[in-house]
Structure 1
């Protein structure tokens, strides 16, 4: 083979090698490049959303019983509602009933009277307490008050009116003013006050976006 033919063959071989190298470069690392690091893949992760805070409901079982103490007076109070919890919507008129009996310690024969019972409903929302509803007051129409010493009892029904549509629950703040005879035959009385709070959830109105049936 002459020098010109050898030069031409060498040039052709070089051109073929260059073409092959360029082709392999376009397809990624060369097969013989065992030390090449793979290109890391990019993955995206989603942050799980926080679970909603459970709404408290003292009447979830239908009723609740409380034991209150005010000085020498111990009161047992039952609360319930004749309106089912799924109907405790923001716009509904929501009744809350209570029944109370008391004991006194020491029991020397003196009587216990309920002079006044008050309920204030305070709606609660995502940002906390809202404006309270107007207080409902049961002032005794007899003097010195309603006899509530067991076995006598006191019963009453208060109503929670309309609350803001974004309210999640309502706190029912109760206060009870008792008059206790200083002695069994005395016309003098000692005043004792007991307070209590009952929390009830506000249900979603039928057809609303938060209605669980949809």
Structure 2
């Protein structure tokens, strides 16, 4: 090749080498690698499921309550199948009790009054409750409940709010005990109890 032509080729060749070196120093082109992006991950919070208490789940329940020196053995049940305790149903709650004295010198034991206050709950909190039920003894000083005698009663709970999921029944028992076996004086004491019954949602 003539010297003149070679002098033209060498500068061009040098320029090509410089361009190649320049490109290799810049690293990979953006299109040569996969695009990465951060996608937000959705998070969900699950509210804990709080089971509804049902003290009559087996059909009945018993309690031993203290009213001063008297022990009350109380049994609760319903003549209506618990699965049929819906908000709209009339719900009978039955109970019986018998009393025993801790220090028994022959005194009589009487039940002078029993009251039941209902509270109704739904998924969002308290709901309107039915009126209280009361049995005030119609004889003085009250109903004899010392063993072997007992007291039995049934109260009917009316329909409640359709959203109701449970009913809690607060019982109050007022008891009178003779001061002596022949005395007309009585000592009064009170026992309290609560039971909760789950309601079956209406279909």
User: What's the TM-score bracket when you normalise by the shorter of the two chains?
Assistant: 0.7 to 0.9
Question: Counterpart of 2:85?
Answer: 88
User: In the alignment, which of 106, 111, 122 is matched to residue 125 of structure 1?
Assistant: 122
Deviation at 1:8, TM superposition (A): 10
User: In the alignment, which of 36, 58, 61 is matched to residue 58 of structure 2?
Assistant: 61
Question: Counterpart of 2:192?
Answer: 195
2:33 corresponds to 1:29: yes
Gaps of 5+ in 2: 15-27
Question: Counterpart of 1:44?
Answer: 41
Question: Counterpart of 2:75?
Answer: 78
Cα pair 2:162 2:202 within 8 Å, conserved: no
Aligned residue-pair number = 198
Q: Distance in 2 between matches of 1:7 and 1:92?
A: 104
Q: Distance in 1 between matches of 2:7 and 2:165?
A: 97
Kindly name which structure, 1 or 2, has the bigger radius of gyration based on alpha carbons.
2
TM-score, normalising length: structure 2: 0.81
Deviation at 1:4, TM superposition (A): 9.0
Deviation at 1:82, TM superposition (A): 1.8
Q: Distance in 2 between matches of 1:161 and 1:4?
A: 111
| CA-based RMSD | 3.0
User: In the alignment, which of 161, 176, 183 is matched to residue 164 of structure 1?
Assistant: 161
Q: Distance in 1 between matches of 2:126 and 2:163?
A: 11
